[in-house]
Amino acid sequence: MHFPFKPSWLLAGAALCAVSGAQAQAVPKTIRIIVAYPPGGVSDVVARALGDRLAAQMSTTVVVDNRAGASGAIGMDAVAKAAPDGATLGFSAISPLVLSPHLGKLPFEPLKDIAPVASVMYSPVLLIATPASRARDFRALVADAKAQPGAVRWATSGPASLGHIVLEQVKAATGVDITHVPYKGGGQQLNDALGGQFEILSSNASPTLTSHIRSGKLRPLAVGAPARLESLPQVPTLGELGYSAANINSVFGVFAPAATPPILIEKYNAEINKALASPELRAKLTATDNVPTGGTPAAFAAEIASEFEGNARIVKAANIKAD
């Protein structure tokens, strides 16, 4: 696999082997988790629940520090610039590392200054029909878009958002003309969806969205996820429908400054996997339609590298620009 520069974490496997027999470095008494999003959202709730589990497991204090802004890049910049002593971790989607770099210059080098520690969860992307759409399934939506070029309006949380990437992949696969309606934030977007101001909404799963689906006000047509959701078993994935390139979702994980000792990264990875196996934390995740993941640092790093290169191709092909 080709990389535009040499990610420091590509050497982590060799480093871990070198220290595997050494005595583990002590975990700091206080750990700060920088959350790249505002307080109160699903990602913040999950990060705090994870922090509580880690504190109990490691007999340490975990403090959550919200650093929101720039689609997660502000928080990840703070992680990149923190002392690599194991006292600072970050919780974020991988998008600041794999998508933001292709849209503009960042104050840090994503694949060089950040070390992946553990994948925590993926957040599915739901494709929702509003009252303005007559489509009862995704194939009907595509048929409507072909019959009336430009008439179908597809709302996302903004240019270069994950929902926008899904839209561009669907357009590329079908050749249909669909009008992109970008928003800044989810509140107005959801209100307009309920009011039928556009036909389709692509959004990460959330309890609020799920409640409107259950009430019948909004209709799910498809989901971007590796498998169907337990809460919406009747809704097919985009992969099942033949849109494998559009079948994407938000992956969240824990990160550390790149020079953090590999033995500490290994320790945190083991503790995070242990936390994700707990029924309490899994229940918090699945209650919001987020799916626990876990795995090794190397597997998480490989996923990030793959997404980085894939997004580079998508952004270039669709000429996607950030605001």
Measured between alpha carbons, how far is 154 from 207 in angstroms, rounded to an integer? 21
Give the DSSP letter string of 71-114. Answer: GGHHHHHHHHHS-SSSSEEEEEESHHHHTGGGTS--SS-HHHHE
Whether the pLDDT of residue 5 is over 70: the answer is no
Of 5-14, 188-197, 236-245, 258-267, give the lowest mean pLDDT range: 5-14
* 308: pLDDT strictly greater than 80: yes
- Percentage of the chain beyond pLDDT 90 is 71
| pLDDT of 3 strictly over 60 | no
How many Cβ atoms are within 10 Å of 236's Cβ, its own excluded?
A: 17
Q: Give all strands of the β-sheet with 291-292 in edge-to-edge order.
A: 61-66, 30-35, 88-93, 250-257, 114-123, 291-292
CA atoms within 13 A on the CB side of 60: 18
Pairwise pLDDT comparison (311 vs 31), residue with the higher score: 31
- How much is the pLDDT for 46? 92
CA distance 322 to 320: 7
Alpha-carbon distance 19 to 7, whole Å?
Answer: 20
Tens digits of per-residue pLDDT, 71-111? 899 999 999 999 999 999 999 999 999 999 998 889 999 99
Mean pLDDT, range 316-320, rounded to an integer: 84
Average pLDDT in the 131-138 region? 96
Is residue 6 over pLDDT 50?
no
The H or E element containing residue 256 is strand 250-257
Q: Check whether 20 has a pLDDT greater than 70.
A: no
* Structure-model confidence comparison of residues 322 and 84, the more confident one: 84
Task: Give the per-residue pLDDT at 186.
Answer: 62
DSSP string, 140-205: HHHHHHHHSTTTSEEEESSTTSHHHHHHHHHHHHH----EEEE-SSHHHHHHHHHTTSSSEEEEE-
Q: Say what the pLDDT of residue 26 is.
A: 84
Helices 138-147 and 162-174: angle between axes, nearest 10 degrees:
70
Q: What is the pLDDT of residue 289?
A: 85
Q: How many CB atoms lie within 10 A of CB 20?
A: 11
Supply the pLDDT for residue 185: 63
Of residues 99 and 318, more confidently modeled: 99
What pLDDT does 2 receive?
Answer: 36
Mean pLDDT, residues 153-157 taken together: 94
Q: How confident is the model at residue 145 (pLDDT cuts 50, 70, 90)?
A: very high
User: Residue 313: is it exposed, middle or buried by C-beta count within 10 angstroms (0-12/13-18/19+)?
Assistant: exposed
The per-residue pLDDT of the chain, averaged, comes to: 89
